[in-house]
Amino acid sequence: MNGAAEILVIILSVVLAVFLILGIILIILLIRVTRQIKKVTSTAGRTVESIETAVTNMTKITSPMFLAGLVMKQVSKFRKHK
């Protein structure tokens, strides 16, 4: 009986050591993935900010142009009716 218990203890310790090593490897991989996710999100944030700035600048330009176009249409309609 003593020999069987020792074999079970050896098998159990080997399995636990393998799980410990796999757990450490998994934690290292998860840390790498979270760092990459953090890089991607910061890049996406910068991209969104630059697009937002571009859109804001475009609205500053297009709003007066749109109003000028409306005024020109009204003026041309008024001239046609005269």
Buried b (16+ CB within 10 A) or exposed e, 38-52: eeeeeeeeeeeeeee
Of the listed ranges 17-26, 38-47, 60-69, the least confidently predicted one is 60-69
Work out the number of other CB atoms within 10 angstroms of the CB of residue 57. Answer: 10
pLDDT score for 65 = 72
Domain count, the chain: 1
Q: Give me the chain's average pLDDT, please.
A: 88
Owning domain of residue 77: 1-82
Q: What is the pLDDT of residues 66-80, one digit of tens each?
A: 777 777 888 777 777
Confidence of residue 11 (pLDDT cuts 50, 70, 90): very high
More confident residue, 60 or 44: 44
